[in-house]
Amino acid sequence: MDGCIFCGIASGAIPAKVLFQDDHVVAFHDIHPVAPVHVLVIPKRHVASLAEVSPDDREMLGHLMSAVRRVAVETGVAESGFRTVINTGEGAGQSVFHLHIHVLGGRTFPWPP
């Protein structure tokens, strides 16, 4: 989508520290990390948020979750534990309106958040 930062990263037009990508997803390091490991997992296809997904997106959502596990393994936090966050809507802190999963690790995380 024109003007979308994460579509730009998915297409390669905007540089990012990419951990890996495949036909469906890209995993890249957050530009302002809030933990020693802070990676974002996005679908290559533009979807604004979790509030916008449809049943047709079930396969894409599965790819995202499977990529989260790969991020955890490749960054070495799969065993120590990691926090996944999806902010949906401005009220929840979403600032980039292209669906993304934060994968955070390398420190402890309070619960409730």
- Min CB(110)–Zn ion separation in Å: 31
State the SS3 of 59-85.
HHHHHHHHHHHHHHHHHCCCCCCEEEE
CB of 13 to ligand 5GP, least distance (A): 11
In this chain, which stretch among 24-32, 58-66, 75-83, 105-113 interacts with ligand 5GP, using CB under 6 A? 24-32
Q: Does 14 bind Zn ion (CB under 5 A)?
A: no
Q: Among this protein's residues, is 46 annotated catalytic?
A: no
Q: Are 104 and 35 in contact (CB under 8 A)?
A: yes
Q: Does 7 bind Zn ion (CB under 5 A)?
A: yes
Does residue 93 sit in helix, strand or coil? coil
Does residue 113 bind ligand 5GP (CB under 6 A)? no
Decide if residue 18 touches ligand 5GP (CB under 6 A).
no
Point out which residues bind ligand 5GP (CB under 6 A): 5, 16, 28, 30-32, 40, 87, 93-96
Residues classed as catalytic: 100
